[in-house]
Structure 1
Amino acid sequence: MPTLDDNHTGARIKEQRKLGRLTQRQLAARLPYSYSLLNSVECGLRPATADFVAACAKALGVDVTVLTGQPYVSELQRDRLAELIRPIRESLDLYDLGPSPDITARPTDQLVATADRLCREVRATHLRSAARQLPGVIAELTHLAWSSPSTRLWRSLASTYRTAHDISVKLGYYDLSAVALDRMDWAAQRGSDPCLAAVRQYMRALVYFREGEYGIGQRLVAAGHQVVGQAGESREALAVAGQLHLGASVISARAEDQTAVDLHIGEARRIAERIGDAADVHWLSFGPANVALHRMSAAVEMHQYDEALKQARTMKLPPQLATSRRAHFLIDRARAEMETGSTDKALEHLVDARRMAPEQTRYHPGARETITGLVHLSRRTPERLNHMAAWIGL
């Protein structure tokens, strides 16, 4: 059976608490959680859920990644993913340097199609392939956008910055994701694209969702609605507005505001019924299925695990749904199964998520914490769980 060392979230919470000269009871007094839960998490007897970690980070005045330990350097190096990050970082720094005499860019049509394909690869969880190609595409698009400016090129460049953000988040490089979002705004403004600008606000809101700053996240969603309102009633604008409502639903769930959750899910459902599946719009996966998935995610965030499982068991995911969304569903369901005592089913869903999207699952904080929780709930660890624990570096 794997044993827990000091490299887990609970141990890092304990370390930061001591650095802040706080006792467990003093920290617990600052949290919307009990002393007993804090004690159990620090000892590794209970998994540190995302909302619990966000609350601790806020109370301790540290970044969430200080407590989660992201990025997972040893695993990233073993998977040869860490070496792909530096070229992405460097490509993001080219934005204001103008055209490059050293670059011979591909034709615009080919580059735009490649940028779209990279978005699609991330949705299919082919992170390594997308990360390897991305820096060159950003460099070529930056060169072309400066040498032959056009709305199409600026929008495509904004799209590649969004892909850089997505890859950075999935691998735990949140500092790099923030840079990518700034670049996305810079390019979207030059492309005069209110929909892309609103997508960027949605992604910024999710950054604050992870950090536990729900008020700021809700304000960013509202700002996104204002921006997308400039695009009129097009299908594209409606899909983006619907996705903003979905983002607001999980932020409201983390803030334990059931009324707001119901409101935003209702608005998103209304839009989805009007436009149907719109997964092609900025690769947001918006549509009836994604509304249902966010409704379940909101129940998980509000610790309504029985309700989440009730929804999960009746859910039929369409074949065209992005692999990244399918894997996220399995990870959410695994957490709900574990919290309701169905540890075998929880492990089964995590194994399925790994089979479907190995890179995404390995570096997903929720998956890692659920695996850790299963280890400590098991008197005798099944061989499959041993393999999963070793796989995430436990």
Structure 2
Amino acid sequence: MSEQPHQIGQRIATRRRARRLTQTQLAAAAYLSVATIRAIERGARRPSDMALETIAAALGVDPSALLEGHVGTERRVRAALPEISSSIAGYDIPPDSPMPPLGQLATAVTGAESWRLAAQYGRVAQSAPTLLTGALAAFHAADGRERRYAARLLASAARTADAAAYKYGAHDLSARLIDLMRWASAQADDPLLEASASYVRTETFFAAGAHRTGLKALELAVDQGPVATTPQSIAALGALHMRAAVVAGRLGDSDAADVHLDEARSLGDQVPEGIYVGTAFGPESVRIHEVSVAVSLGGDHVGRAFDVVHEWTPPKDLPAERRSGFWIELARAQLWGNRREDAHESLKVARRIAPLHTREHPWARETVATLRRLRRADDESLTSLAEWIGAI
């Protein structure tokens, strides 16, 4: 028998109070109205799949903790992928759809970007086809300055859609979305946006295991990038160096990784932590990438990761996806360093921060599977985590 709305609402209210959140705070974090939260909690309204998942993400739990057996996100993302693919099939051909008002489109793009940074992939995937279709219509219908502005919105829409495609293993579609982002960035005549596209393009090289080519592409993007004279340009170059350091680590080139980390660190010290052209950058993001580099270099370098986190963890105002990625990579280092209890705890933190991101991360799944093999199989907490993440 399906659970009644009041049962779901009670669980949400209990979790909210345990987190010491007001209904207003939960509504803001879940991108829902206060009236919707109130109606759901008192059982007057059954939450949709999307609402349930955004509430779960805001509470730092998996949706199945609020509704047993819930598997909505993956189903919605995979159902949306063909429509996303169709929406960009002829991106260079003017569509028949009407041009939306640019202000309305900009608001929608900004909202979708916030979902991407919060790792809310279900919302991203469902909104992406309409967002991409609207952005393409605006681009082809506009001219002059408005056309360049529409191109920037199109690039952002493509990047947002790519987040869902890449995380759920649709790498061919991801590569096409990144090509669209690069094309739109060139149409926008915006060096900062082109640097951002080069940053995102690294996903294609990660998926193909073409790390050497990926490093060359990033170093070329650095050479051709904007001059570091403004916070935005400093952040654009710094992000490229962060990414290049991780790719160099995957290659096992510790010297190149250190060179790029030093450059990223120097640039990070010049700007406050923030979101620049869709990418988080600043001193805190560089620290997270120091851990990423150590893990990329392999088990012999775990000491570098432990040095970073000796008296520091990512602050809560960083994007959820970035913070959860930090704990996932730290768990990998802790496993290699024979700190298995710590690795288990790190994965639980990652799950609380961004459940959907953690569940789809291959390193998280691999670490959980290894922990369960090495530790007692009757460890209920670990077994529960392994079942949730799909490791058993």
If the TM-score is normalised by the length of the shorter chain, which range does it land in? 0.7 to 0.9
CA pair 178-78 structure 1, distance change in 2 beyond 3 A: closer
Q: Which residue of 1 aligns with 2:252?
A: 256
CA pair 316-358 structure 1, distance change in 2 beyond 3 A: closer
- TM-score by structure 2 length? 0.76
Q: Secondary structure at the match of 1:128?
A: helix
2:368–2:385 CA contact under 8 A, matched in 1? yes
Q: Which residue of 2 aligns with 1:182?
A: 179
Q: How many residues align?
A: 316
Q: Which residue of 1 aligns with 2:271?
A: 275
**Aligned-pair CA distance for 1:79:** 4.3
Amino acid at match of 1:298: V
| Partner of residue 233 from structure 2, selected from 227, 230, 237 | 237
1:94–1:139 CA contact under 8 A, matched in 2? no
Q: Secondary structure at the match of 1:313?
A: coil
CA distance in structure 2 between the aligned counterparts of 1:140 and 1:242, rounded to whole angstroms: 32
What residue ranges of structure 1 are gaps of 5+ in the alignment?
1-74
Q: Which residue of 2 aligns with 1:133?
A: 127
Amino acid at match of 1:152: Y
Q: Which residue of 1 aligns with 2:56?
A: none
What residue ranges of structure 2 are gaps of 5+ in the alignment?
1-70
Higher deviation after alignment, 266-275 or 379-388: 379-388
Amino acid at match of 1:217: G
Please state if 1:108 is matched with 2:97.
no
Q: Secondary structure at the match of 1:285?
A: strand
CA distance in structure 2 between the aligned counterparts of 1:169 and 1:309, rounded to whole angstroms: 29
Q: Which residue of 2 aligns with 1:118?
A: 112
CA distance in structure 2 between the aligned counterparts of 1:162 and 1:146, rounded to whole angstroms: 19
CA pair 353-316 structure 1, distance change in 2 beyond 3 A: closer
**Aligned-pair CA distance for 1:107:** 1.6
Amino acid at match of 1:124: A
CA distance in structure 1 between the aligned counterparts of 2:228 and 2:316, rounded to whole angstroms: 31
CA distance in structure 1 between the aligned counterparts of 2:151 and 2:237, rounded to whole angstroms: 22
**Aligned-pair CA distance for 1:205:** 2.8
Amino acid at match of 2:260: H
1:354–1:362 CA contact under 8 A, matched in 2? yes
Once the two structures are superposed, the pairs formed by residues 3-14 of structure 1 within 5 Å of their partners are: none
Amino acid at match of 1:121: W
**Aligned-pair CA distance for 1:357:** 1.0
Q: Which residue of 1 aligns with 2:341?
A: 344
2:100–2:138 CA contact under 8 A, matched in 1? no
**Aligned-pair CA distance for 1:179:** 0.4
CA distance in structure 2 between the aligned counterparts of 1:78 and 1:155, rounded to whole angstroms: 29
Q: Which residue of 2 aligns with 1:291?
A: 286
Deviations 1:151-198 (A, max 9, x none): 100111011111122221111111111000111122112111122122
- TM-score by structure 1 length? 0.76
Q: Which residue of 1 aligns with 2:66?
A: none
CA distance in structure 2 between the aligned counterparts of 1:340 and 1:225, rounded to whole angstroms: 34
Q: Secondary structure at the match of 1:154?
A: helix
**Aligned-pair CA distance for 1:104:** 4.1
Q: Which residue of 2 aligns with 1:373?
A: 370
CA pair 366-235 structure 1, distance change in 2 beyond 3 A: same
Q: Secondary structure at the match of 1:318?
A: coil
**Aligned-pair CA distance for 1:213:** 2.2
CA distance in structure 2 between the aligned counterparts of 1:360 and 1:77, rounded to whole angstroms: 11
2:73–2:121 CA contact under 8 A, matched in 1? no
CA distance in structure 2 between the aligned counterparts of 1:359 and 1:309, rounded to whole angstroms: 26
Amino acid at match of 2:237: A
CA distance in structure 2 between the aligned counterparts of 1:348 and 1:381, rounded to whole angstroms: 17
CA distance in structure 1 between the aligned counterparts of 2:355 and 2:315, rounded to whole angstroms: 21
Name the structure, 1 or 2, with higher relative contact order (CA <8 Å, separation 6+): 1
Q: Which residue of 1 aligns with 2:82?
A: 86
Q: Secondary structure at the match of 2:292?
A: helix
CA distance in structure 2 between the aligned counterparts of 1:205 and 1:131, rounded to whole angstroms: 21
**Aligned-pair CA distance for 1:210:** 4.3
Q: Which residue of 1 aligns with 2:332?
A: 335
CA distance in structure 2 between the aligned counterparts of 1:268 and 1:156, rounded to whole angstroms: 27
Higher deviation after alignment, 288-297 or 334-343: 334-343
2:288–2:314 CA contact under 8 A, matched in 1? no
CA distance in structure 2 between the aligned counterparts of 1:175 and 1:220, rounded to whole angstroms: 19
1:195–1:227 CA contact under 8 A, matched in 2? no
Once the two structures are superposed, the pairs formed by residues 86-235 of structure 1 within 5 Å of their partners are: 86-100=82-96, 103-149=97-143, 150-229=147-226, 233-235=229-231
CA distance in structure 1 between the aligned counterparts of 2:351 and 2:172, rounded to whole angstroms: 26
